[in-house]
Structure 1
Amino acid sequence: MVPFLPTDSARSNLFARFAERITAWAGSTLVFCLALGIVLLWALTGPVFHYSETWQLIINTGTTIITFLMVFLIQRAQNKDSLVLHLKLNELLAAHKGASNRLINAQDFSEEEIHVLHRYFDILAEKAALDRDLGRTHSVEEAEENHVSKRAARHKPH
């Protein structure tokens, strides 16, 4: 009989739970106080070890290793938070009748596409300010309809 081997999904879930717990624990007041205590203890032992290179190497090595590992755990947590935020925003865009579905998954747009959209929304903000009507809304679709009608009017035989 083959012993139980965790699947990729099970390993991933195990690591996900581990990373979430470590990240939450590392951000707690208790851990901050513990780290501060370690640094103070290290500083107080300086005279005992005559501020030797070994004494300095201990804190440098310890903080480097912890920082190196925490960068990956924190980045993983931020990636997950960012993805969840995008999913929530996508749900709102998809559910709202007046919202542009073209903005769903905007996080995948190129930088140039993002800059074009940013300029577009700057223009919409300026138009909204001119309307002086807080209830008035402009959407990408409204602008597209406007563009199509203007284009048709320009190309219409006189």
Structure 2
Amino acid sequence: MENTTPENEQAPKQRWSDRFDRFALYITRVTGSSTAFILAMGIVLVWAATGPIFHYSETWQLVINTGTTIITFLMVFVIQKAQNKESLAVQLKLNELISATKGASNRLVSVENLSEQELQVLCEHYSAMAELTKQASDLLKSHSVEEAIRDTEEKLSDQTARDSRGLVRSAEDISH
């Protein structure tokens, strides 16, 4: 008797999802290339050049219209899938930067899940903060190299401390 747990049912769905992810990434890379553009332009030029041969018939027009409509329809889904994955990856990277940056507001982690109204409130907050900063400082003045080095050293020191605390906890977990 075959085991039909939800986990076993999820495996085929996950494989199809993974395959479609790879397919969408491949197609967006290929279709976004110079070669793809040149090929598409070539097809349009060949189609246009054959107009007189086919006396600019409705069938001749239907060929390009149908082809471009089908390709556009399918590409919308492929591009959206690739865009969703890329957007999620960027959001995760930004969340990591926020969570790892001393002094950054953790309220902004997963901010993409807020409603439009909540985002507008945050936008107004940061706009007001930017205006106060503009009034209080010279916009042409940048951080010094020394400040950047000091900040980097602090971050590295903090990271080393976190890593060593994690190793101690891991060793304690293993010993128990």
Tell me the TM-score normalized by structure 1.
Answer: 0.78
2:87 is matched with which residue? 82
> How far is 1:17 from its partner?
1.1
Tell me the TM-score normalized by structure 2.
Answer: 0.71
CA RMSD after TM alignment: 1.7
Q: 2:21·2:82 contact (CA, 8 Å) conserved in 1?
A: no
Consecutive unaligned residues of structure 2, counting only runs of 5 or more, are 3-8, 144-176
CA shift digits 1:103-122 (9 cap, x unpaired): 11000111111111111111
CA shift digits 1:22-54 (9 cap, x unpaired): 111111111111111110000011001100000
CA shift digits 1:47-106 (9 cap, x unpaired): 011000000000000000001111111111111111111101100111112011111100
1:19 aligns with 2:10: no
2:110 to 93, 101, 105: 105
Percent identical: 56
1:37 aligns with 2:55: no
Q: 2:54·2:60 contact (CA, 8 Å) conserved in 1?
A: yes
* Superposition misfits of 4+ residues, deviation over 6 angstroms: none
1:8 is matched with which residue? 13
- The structure that is helix-richer by fraction is 2
1:28-67, aligned counterparts within 5 Å?
28-67=33-72
2:161 is matched with which residue? none
Distance (Å, rounded) in 2 between the aligned partners of 1:112 and 1:30: 43
Q: Which amino acid aligns with 1:125?
A: A
Q: Secondary structure at the match of 1:16?
A: helix
Q: How many residues align?
A: 132
Q: Which moved further from structure 2: 40-49 or 126-135?
A: 126-135
CA shift digits 1:136-158 (9 cap, x unpaired): xxxxxxxxxxxxxxxxxxxxxxx
Consecutive unaligned residues of structure 1, counting only runs of 5 or more, are 136-158
Distance (Å, rounded) in 2 between the aligned partners of 1:130 and 1:26: 47
2:147 is matched with which residue? none
